[in-house]
Structure 1
Amino acid sequence: MLHRRAALTLAGGTALAAALPPPARAAHLARAEPAEVGLLPDRLARIPAWLSAEVQANRIPGAVVAIGRKGRLAYLESIGFRDREANAAMTPDAVFRLASMTKPIVSLGLMMLAEEGRVQLEYPISRYLPEFAEQRVGPNGEKPQRPTTVQDLLRHTSGLTYGLGDDPVARAYADAKLREKGITGPEFIRRLAGLPLASHPGSTWAYSYSTDVVGRIVEVVSGEDLNAYVTRRITGPLGMADTAFFLGERARGRVAEAMADSQTGRKPAMPDPAVRASFFSGGGGMSGTALDYARFCQMLLDMGHTEETRLATRHTVALMRANHLPPGIGYSADTPGRFGALAPTPAMGQGFGLGFCVRTEAGRNPLPGSVGDHYWGGAYGTFFWVDPAEEMYVVFMMQAPEQRLQTRYVLRQLVYQSLA
């Protein structure tokens, strides 16, 4: 089966309710028919038609799409296969590896500590992690013009990188074996802190391990491991019962899998959502469902609260979704090619906030959207955006790394053309 439609009605919603396990069903997520919130059903139908064609062409295994508008979940589609090789159909409660869609959740976790006065964004990160007190820039060990701050971590201007490429800094990252199996959080931080920065803090936007450092700061300041903290402060209060750094038996039989390569027969290397990792990666270690992430997006739309709980104040959420990149900021050489029209550059009319990209101008970006919309995605194919001007969020879940940019472009077009 390539296409499964989940019925959403205020009166019943029985098809959706029957598909979900009890913990997720119990959490509040108001629902509406698409037309009730200004989504045109005939135009929405283009989304599953497009995704079904992608499945049939063997470009993606399957996907789940959730759209909320005006405070209610109005659209939910599960298309294709949760596991193509096992011939298992995609379901609304499928578990996806979120990869970098972990970053907004962990960034919010740090901002909640900032609200309590326990973390200051302008402080050097060495105040919380002394391992970073002696950082140097480049292979020659130049002294930084200023220390890396917590704000630098949140906006990716820390001077850290992901160690890609073949320059001296990238080779130092490779030699440090930051992805070594079994590495612990403290050991990861010790190795990372000893590596040269690729640029002076605050001078260059470069996608990096910065949010992994944010996660470690959360652990040190809160006194809890990152999974326990995020569960207690964010996913638990929001009713995100199927989102965590490891899900154990809750993930069994529900994990969405990437397709095997047609040439080699191998699947991309991905972590098992059921298994506890040796350390919790704040930059990419969580797994979860589309409906859970919809709850997170609705909280962002509602400026930090739900009907049941408040996680953060409206001022904190406004600060997170403001552009924090200063005029004249540089960009790592791989930014345009890696992110395309979704890059946080002035050329694309975009910047970067505290945990995600934000649109700052109308007319520069070739993709539809609104000034103020904010978004991010994961390397395995997941993607979300929140558009306050349209009172809308969109969550897209798939596990097809090579198709992630293309699908994000098309989905943007198809969502906005469906607005009445």
Structure 2
Amino acid sequence: MLHRRAALSLVASTALAAGLPGGARPARAATDAPALPRVGRPEEAGFSADRLGRLGGWMRGEVEAGRIPGAVVAIGRGGKLAYLEAFGFRDREARAPMPANAVFRIASMTKPFASLALMMLAEEGRVMLWHPVSRYIPEFKDAKVGPERAPAEREMTVQDLLRHTSGLTYGALPVPGGPGANPVQQAYAEAKVADPDQDIGSFIARLAAQPLIYQPGTHWEYSHSTDVVGRIVEVVAGQDLDAFIRARIAGPLGLKDTGFWAPAEASDRIALPQADPATGRKQAVPNPLQKPRWFSGGGGMVSTAEDYARFCQMLLNGGRLGEVELAARRTIALMTADHLPPGTQYGPGLYALFGGLAPAPAAGYGFGLGFAVRTAEGRSPMPGNVGDYFWAGAYGTYFWVDPKEELYAVLMLQGPADRLQYRYAMRQMVYGALT
């Protein structure tokens, strides 16, 4: 594991797991985790080596043009890792080359980890998706809606949190081409809801004190919902989110470089953003070597391309990697189904933020319990299959899983000026390489 105390934590969690309520599965040490099998040649996984070469050539061209510092790409198919390549620099200013095991801030690609953590507790009967959030976090009782603070028509549920229909939002964030800040979002910013210097108790208190932006269940609104999911995991499990994910997910899967911060000895593997050639400014990325004061289930983790590939392979296998079973097959199926009810509405700025991968019917997508889910052929300008699911991170990372093709792809990138085009390019070139 990423943290120095990992080995001791895993031993302790294994010893304690038999006594966990609900029959929690014991963690296995990372050294016991199965290796991720690799193909000798891309053709063995149904890819054209020449066409995959286009992806590498395009990435190198983006580095040479100065648009990105570097990247790492991992692609798997048929249960094997078919492609793992590093490009450019982990630190352009220092001319430090990008290693394949570079550590990245994955931002919102943390959300699938926190969502899976909660669903593991749901399997044990310790959380119910239809319960009101206030059952676990009383501060959300009697939430009000809008700047006028109207009464909520119903309480937000745990399912609402997982699918982003809770009525929560994010603070005022400038989106190029998007609308101005909503008064509720402005209130979030003024209250410093997401202040990294507070503890988790202060975060919940500040968040719950703000009005909801929409009535629960009516709108899909990207939000702090998954941070609240992470807090429910902490309340129910009786341990912080970092400890739970280490013991129950990252440790058993052998994700040795995945956690909420990286140790000092990983400093020569940290991927850094570069100055945007258009503006001269760098995207603000939190220091991966610094332990956070509170563990954001919505965006706080670090990882590597190969670690995230292992996570994707577990999802593709229906909750299992080798002999390690984290969740039941039907639990993964539930998470990756569309949970948005008919008539779900969307706030302004959806397409400015998500482009052709927006989780809306007009783009051919819905949203499950932690992932966007493709619901229709066509509509989206991107190739894929009905049932594929994905998410991305604000610092440039992206992944998707396509059960029909038995395929996953992971892009690790830090601080691009236009992150959408790299998601598009990955989709086009990976599907274009299938034989």
Residues in 1 aligned to 2:417 and 2:280: alpha-carbon distance in whole angstroms = 16
1:136 and 2:151 aligned: no
1:62 and 2:77 aligned: no
Residues 1:307 and 1:253: Cα distance change in structure 2 (over 3 Å): same
1:172-192 CA-to-partner distances (Å, cap 9, x unmatched) read 111211232411111100010
1:117-174 CA-to-partner distances (Å, cap 9, x unmatched) read 0000000000000010020001111111110000000000010111224332122111
- The gaps in structure 1 that reach 5 residues or longer are 1-22
1:233 and 2:248 aligned: yes
For residue 27 of structure 1, report the CA deviation from its aligned partner: 5.0
Residues in 1 aligned to 2:233 and 2:380: alpha-carbon distance in whole angstroms = 35
* Residue equivalent to 2:356: 341
Secondary structure of the 2:228 match is helix
1:39 and 2:73 aligned: no
Residues 1:263 and 1:57: Cα distance change in structure 2 (over 3 Å): closer
For residue 250 of structure 1, report the CA deviation from its aligned partner: 4.1
Residues in 1 aligned to 2:54 and 2:277: alpha-carbon distance in whole angstroms = 28
* Residue equivalent to 1:357: 372
Residues 1:233 and 1:26: Cα distance change in structure 2 (over 3 Å): closer
Match of residue 293, structure 1, among 287, 308, 324: 308
Give the length in aligned residue pairs. 398
Residues in 2 aligned to 1:278 and 1:384: alpha-carbon distance in whole angstroms = 27
Residues 1:97 and 1:168: Cα distance change in structure 2 (over 3 Å): same
* Residue equivalent to 1:251: 266
Secondary structure of the 2:252 match is coil
For residue 260 of structure 1, report the CA deviation from its aligned partner: 2.1
For residue 213 of structure 1, report the CA deviation from its aligned partner: 0.3
User: Is the CA contact (8 Å cut-off) linking 1:24 and 1:241 kept in structure 2?
Assistant: no
1:154 and 2:162 aligned: yes
Match of residue 417, structure 2, among 381, 402, 407: 402
Residues 1:203 and 1:263: Cα distance change in structure 2 (over 3 Å): closer
Residues in 2 aligned to 1:263 and 1:414: alpha-carbon distance in whole angstroms = 26
1:98-124 CA-to-partner distances (Å, cap 9, x unmatched) read 000000011000000000000000000
1:145 and 2:153 aligned: yes
CA-based RMSD: 1.4
- Name the amino acid aligned to 1:239: G
- Name the amino acid aligned to 1:63: A
1:28 and 2:35 aligned: yes
Residues 1:242 and 1:25: Cα distance change in structure 2 (over 3 Å): farther
Residues in 2 aligned to 1:181 and 1:233: alpha-carbon distance in whole angstroms = 25
* Residue equivalent to 2:386: 371
Residues in 2 aligned to 1:364 and 1:88: alpha-carbon distance in whole angstroms = 41
1:283 and 2:311 aligned: no
User: Is the CA contact (8 Å cut-off) linking 1:159 and 1:199 kept in structure 2?
Assistant: yes
Residues 1:24 and 1:332: Cα distance change in structure 2 (over 3 Å): farther
Residues in 2 aligned to 1:362 and 1:133: alpha-carbon distance in whole angstroms = 41
User: Is the CA contact (8 Å cut-off) linking 1:154 and 1:211 kept in structure 2?
Assistant: yes
* Residue equivalent to 1:168: 183
Residues in 1 aligned to 2:416 and 2:300: alpha-carbon distance in whole angstroms = 16
TM-score (norm 1): 0.93
Residues in 1 aligned to 2:396 and 2:189: alpha-carbon distance in whole angstroms = 25
Match of residue 215, structure 1, among 230, 233, 245: 230
Q: Which moved more, 1:266-275 or 1:107-116?
A: 266-275
